[in-house]
Amino acid sequence: MKHIQWIAVLAIFALGCSQVSNEPQMQAETMQDMHEAMVAQEGTPCQQMPNGESMGDCGDNVKEDLSSLSTAKSSSILTVNDGDHITITADIVKKRINGKEVKMYAYNGMIPGVALRTRQGSTIEIDFINNLDQETTIHWHGLRHDINNDGVPDISQETVKPGEKYQYTVTFPDAGIYWYHPHVREDLQQDLGLAGNMLVDSPESDYYNPINKEELLVLDDILMNDHGVVPFGKEHANFALMGRFGNVMLLNGETDYRLSVNKGDIVRFFVTNVANVRPFNLDFDGARIKLVASDLSRYEEEEFIDSVLITPAERYVIEVYFDESRKYNIRHITPDKEYVLGSVIAASTAGRADHSADFLKPRKNEEESKEMFRFKKLMEKDPDYEIDLTVEVNMMMGSMEDMPCHVMGGVQMGDCDGEEHEEEIEWEDTMGMMNAMSTSETVDWILKDRKTGRTNMEIGMEAKVGDIIKIRLFNDPESDHPMQHPIHLHGQRFLVTSIDGEQQDNLAWKDTVLVPAGKTIDILVDVTNPGEWMMHCHIAEHLEAGMMTSFNVET
């Protein structure tokens, strides 16, 4: 993967000089000297860096008065039945994170938002009240329900302005784990806390294995510095190149998640990644993990795994066996780093039910296998659409081939002997200052139809109810900055049938798929739901920078 060669810091320098013409001219023999000078430059507009450093004139960063705000509560589960009418509010709250009290957003005053639990086939009415200081909507992620309730501005509905109410009719046709979040400035609103789960139970009493305990796990991160949350772009998303990687990890909204279980317990975790961009590689410190289900269904066959790689917007259902009396750290492990997100304490306690025999024998789900058989026969069909994932960067550029090799803002710059970054997945913000400076005005993330050359909303994919559409997604490794993209399709379900031409033999229904850099992913879409549905990258900043198209379904 090639590095981008930018002199983006010159943009800050030029902007600063234009506003402080009476200041002494900065002298810099190298880019690093310029960087150090800019950190202290009075009058230069304040720039917040991903590492928490402030560049330019940031004054005293006067702290906002939060005394009138309610403190965010921990999430709780609200059980709803068919025909129920409930209220969800979007509220401004305060929350203490890493010892700092910051302003956040919350559904029903909770971070994560109130979790809804219901039965498959239910329909409920939801009065949504917007108590925020900006307009918003709610998208019910993963549900195959009516297009008029999908929460996409200018397609499904108008935005809900501050102080206004909007009524959603929400149906739950499939068992599984889902979530809800805004579809307005996701980079800001979702990152500040607007995300909640929806757990849909099958009417089959033995749909899942017998276990000792169930838990919702919501994975997230947030970017903070000494003053609190690093500022968001006022009009446009910042960190648009790579996305806003957080430097504080959150599990169920906390930095110190704890769960107590008995020795020998089997715990079913419903795991959701609501981070703006960060993929998580989740493990449980040596405890055995069994993969059971994903977004909209069980897998054809359960399987033991070492860890769970989960990208933003994905969900997985896993079962974990805590067979020793000890502390198990819940860890996010990357090729370079390890984060402890929380812990599970297993203690010796008599009287629990022993479900180890069921756990140790992976179940084959014949119902799913039969349903998917007809789709597997279409794995070799030609793609109906071939979509390339790419990017165009419009920031100030310049050649750095003659600059000495150095590292600035976490990225290698200058003449570094042509060394290239070859990771298929970006686990951290490797562009540092460059990423922080990029906005959705200077970066265009692109879905491109290979056949027509049309891009993003111009593509307009089409289908009819009853069709089975094959879409080939190719993540161009020669783009200005190739990185992974979690691609989400609203209102339908699909199977991931092949990766780089290798057919997948253990399938589950999905609505989001990770497309790593350089990879080709084939999906088969089961077209069941009429309407104009969005397909987009679920990295919030990439969505804000245009990486979306429509999937138009007629009856």
187 three-state secondary structure:
helix
What type of residue sits at position 144? R
What does DSSP assign to residue 246? -
Measured CA to CA, the distance from residue 355 to residue 507 in angstroms comes to: 25
528 three-state secondary structure:
coil
**Residues forming a β-bridge with 126:** 86, 168
So where are the chain's domains?
9-55, 76-201, 225-364, 385-395+438-554
pLDDT of residue 55: 53
pLDDT truncated to tens, each residue of the chain (555 aa)? 344 444 444 344 333 333 333 333 333 333 333 343 333 333 444 454 444 445 544 434 446 789 899 999 999 999 999 999 999 999 999 999 999 999 999 999 999 999 999 999 999 999 999 999 999 999 999 999 999 999 999 999 999 999 999 999 999 999 999 999 999 999 999 999 999 999 999 999 999 999 999 999 999 999 999 989 999 998 899 999 999 999 999 999 999 999 999 999 999 999 999 999 999 999 999 999 999 999 999 999 999 999 999 999 999 999 999 999 999 999 999 999 999 999 999 997 766 799 999 999 999 999 999 999 989 889 999 999 999 999 999 865 433 344 444 333 334 444 444 444 457 899 999 888 889 989 989 999 999 999 999 999 999 899 999 999 999 999 999 998 999 999 999 999 999 999 999 999 999 999 999 999 999 999 999 999 999 999 999 999 999 999 999 999 999
Measured CA to CA, the distance from residue 229 to residue 100 in angstroms comes to: 9
- CB of 526 closer than 8 Å to CB of 437: no
CA distances 318 to 12, 410, 444, Å, are 47, 35, 36
* CATH (residue range 225-364): 2.60.40.420
Q: What is the DSSP string of 54-74?
A: EESB-TT-PPP--TTSEEPBP
Domain 385-395+438-554 has CATH 3.40.50.1000: no
> Hey, what CATH topology would domain 76-201 get?
Immunoglobulin-like (2.60.40)
What type of residue sits at position 218? V
Residue 61 — φ and ψ, nearest 5°? 45, 65
- Do the domains 225-364 and 76-201 match in fold? yes
Measured CA to CA, the distance from residue 302 to residue 307 in angstroms comes to: 14
Q: Which of 360, 341, 358, 350 is nearest to 262 (CA)?
A: 350
Residue 42 — φ and ψ, nearest 5°? -70, 140
Does the pTM surpass 0.85? The reply is yes
Measured CA to CA, the distance from residue 419 to residue 422 in angstroms comes to: 9
pLDDT of residue 34: 39
Non-local CB neighbours of 65 within 8 Å, separated by 6+ positions: none
H-helix segments, 306-464: 356-360, 366-376, 433-437
Q: What is the DSSP string of 112-147?
A: SEEEEEEETT-EEEEEEEE-SSS-B--EEET----G
pLDDT of residue 480: 87
| Length reported for the chain | 555
Residue carrying structure tokens 């994905």: 314
What's the alpha-carbon Rg for the chain, to the nearest Å?
A: 24
**In what order do the strands lie in the sheet containing 485-489?**
461-464, 548-554, 531-537, 485-489, 512-515
Dihedral sign, Cα of residue 113, residue 528, residue 156, residue 543 = positive
CA atoms within 13 Å, Cβ hemisphere of 412: 12
- CB of 181 closer than 8 Å to CB of 540: no
H-helix segments, 422-467: 433-437
Q: What is the DSSP string of 503-543?
A: EPSS---BSEEEE-TT-EEEEEEE----EEEEEEE-SHHHH
Residue carrying structure tokens 């405890």: 287
pLDDT of residue 225: 93
What does DSSP assign to residue 163? T
Query: How would you classify residue 152: left for phi > 0, otherwise alpha for psi between -120 and 50, otherwise beta?
Result: beta
Query: How would you classify residue 99: left for phi > 0, otherwise alpha for psi between -120 and 50, otherwise beta?
Result: left
**Residues forming a β-bridge with 536:** 488, 548
Measured CA to CA, the distance from residue 281 to residue 335 in angstroms comes to: 10
What type of residue sits at position 244? R
Dihedral sign, Cα of residue 500, residue 506, residue 508, residue 514 = negative
H/E stretch holding 186? helix 186-189
What type of residue sits at position 314? E
Measured CA to CA, the distance from residue 468 to residue 475 in angstroms comes to: 23
What does DSSP assign to residue 378? T
Q: What is the DSSP string of 470-499?
A: EEEEEE-TTSSS---EEEEESS-EEEEEEE
What type of residue sits at position 324? E
What type of residue sits at position 22? N
pLDDT of residue 63: 67
Non-local CB neighbours of 235 within 8 Å, separated by 6+ positions: none
Residue carrying structure tokens 């504080």: 248
**In what order do the strands lie in the sheet containing 520-526?**
443-449, 385-393, 468-475, 520-526, 493-499, 502-503
